[in-house]
């Protein structure tokens, strides 16, 4: 094999180019759409057995709910596994069968109803950290779990500041690979009715809320810029508090409340709620990993230059030694 300097450079540049192919439907960084959830308007659908948003979500997504193969094996060497299939009717928490719920919290005698679902972060840790690429951020701004690729390790739930994704054992690709030793099912969460929003329609929860409350609907869904403008205007004009625009580096879900979110956070903590709403949430990808990533790229570039310079210097030195040897030999002749 003969490797010239030209061949070597050609090989390198083609490798670099092929690694940088950019998709045609490349992800917009922040995403196309956003949602306002105005909790000053939410009464949890008083008098109705199931809040409309929850009912609509369950109805629209029912064909995608997991049907586990039983008996379910525990996650060896542990004796536990996560199975919600016997609790499909639960509507007051997040489960693999319930992707949105209305959280109730009492603050100074006033009941707040907070619809809770995935926040659809701008830089989602669940997407960035999934080792199997099962989670992706779509151009519409929603993060989506591919149930065909998900191993159910629940890392997405661990890295999510709100612990939103929920696991069901006994389903998914892990059953075909190492069911006893790795994987644990499939993770489920709101994907903002991905097919509907791709078609330009609104998510099922938003439509259901509008049907009940009309212009006073809790949910407002639309183009991101317009939604952010409406939210900011309401903050200014109505003195409301905003949640979701800065948490975890920004999300596409904006909560509006007339009670400061610090107080809501405290109340949820006191109640030891499964799903909390911390106000100070740092996105470590942005604050920690990205600066290190820049150092990594820079050091790679410097090493590349160092390698070329080193090669030239050592080659020159070797040539010099060789010439010296030849000169000595000629002199001795």
**Residues of the shown chain interacting with another protein in the complex, contacts defined by CB under 8 A:** 1, 3, 5, 8, 12, 15-16, 19-29, 75, 77-78, 123, 127-134, 136-139, 144, 146, 149, 153-155, 158-159, 182, 184, 284-285, 288-290, 292-297, 299-304, 306-308, 310-312, 314-315
- 215 to 67, 158, 212, 256, 317: CA distances (angstroms): 38, 37, 9, 16, 80
- Separation CA 116–CA 4 (nearest Å): 61
258 or 288: whose CB is closer to another protein? Answer: 288
Closer CB to another protein, 271 or 290, in the complex? 290
Contacts of 209 (CB under 8 A, 6+ apart): 52, 53, 217, 218, 219
- Phi and psi dihedrals of 95, rounded to 5? -145, 175
* Closest separation in Å from C-beta 107 to another protein: 32
- Closer CB to another protein, 19 or 280, in the complex: 19
Dihedral Cα 198, 204, 205, 210, nearest 10 deg: 100
Report cis status (omega within 30 of 0) of the bond before 71. Answer: yes
Closer by beta carbon to another protein, 79 or else 109 = 79
Q: Are 231 and 15 in contact (CB under 8 A)?
A: no
The dihedral of CA 54, 276, 282, 231: what is its sign? positive
Residues across the chain? 333
> Minimum CB separation from another protein for residue 238, in Å?
33
**90 vs 322 by CB, closer to another protein:** 322
Residue 2 or 237: the one with the smaller Cβ distance to another protein is 2
Shortest reach from residue 78's CB to another protein, in Å: 6
DSSP string computed for 188-216 = E-----HHHHHTTPPPHHHHHHHHHHGGG
CB of 34 to another protein, least distance (A): 18
> Residue 241's closest CA among 253, 255, 227?
255
Query: At closest approach, how far in Å is the CB of 171 from another protein?
Result: 17
Rounded Cα distance, 76 and 333, in Å: 79
- Shortest Cβ distance from residue 132 to another protein (Å)? 6
**Closest CB to another protein among residues 27, 262:** 27
CA distances, 106 to each of 77, 261, 265 (Å): 41, 13, 12
Rounded least distance, CB 37 to another protein, Å: 25
């Amino acid at each position: 094999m003969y490797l010239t300097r030209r061949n070597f450079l050609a090989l390198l540049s083609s490798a670099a180019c092929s690694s940088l192919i950019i998709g045609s439907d490349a992800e917009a960084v922040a995403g196309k759409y956003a949602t306002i959830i105005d909790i000053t308007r939410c009464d949890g659908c008083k008098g109705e057995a199931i809040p409309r948003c929850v009912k609509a979500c369950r109805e629209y997504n029912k064909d995608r709910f997991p049907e586990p193969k039983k008996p379910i094996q525990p996650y060896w060497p542990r004796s536990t596994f996560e199975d919600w299939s016997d609790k499909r009717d639960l509507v007051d928490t997040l489960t693999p069968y319930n992707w949105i719920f209305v959280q109730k919290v009492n603050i100074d005698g006033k009941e707040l109803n907070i619809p809770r679902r995935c926040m659809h972060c701008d830089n989602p840790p669940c997407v960035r950290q999934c080792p199997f690429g099962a989670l992706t951020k779509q151009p519409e701004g929603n993060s989506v779990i591919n149930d065909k690729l998900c191993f159910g390790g629940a890392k997405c739930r661990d890295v999510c500041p709100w612990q939103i994704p929920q696991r069901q054992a006994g389903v998914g690709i892990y059953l075909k690979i190492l069911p006893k030793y790795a994987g644990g099912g499939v993770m489920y969460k709101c994907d903002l009715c991905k097919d509907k929003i791709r078609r330009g329609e609104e998510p099922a929860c938003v439509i259901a809320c509008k049907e009940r409350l009309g212009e006073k609907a809790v949910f407002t869904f639309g183009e991101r810029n317009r939604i952010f403008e409406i939210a900011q205007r309401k903050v200014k004009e109505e003195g409301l508090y905003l949640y979701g625009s800065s948490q975890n580096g920004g999300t596409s879900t904006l909560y509006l409340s007339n009670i400061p979110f610090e107080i809501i956070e405290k109340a949820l903590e006191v109640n030891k709620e499964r799903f909390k709403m911390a106000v100070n949430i740092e996105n470590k990808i942005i604050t920690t990993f990205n600066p290190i990533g820049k150092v990594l790229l820079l050091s790679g570039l410097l090493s590349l230059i160092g390698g070329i310079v080193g090669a030239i210097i050592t080659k020159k030195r070797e040539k010099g030694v060789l010439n010296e040897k030849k000169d000595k030999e000629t002199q001795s002749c």
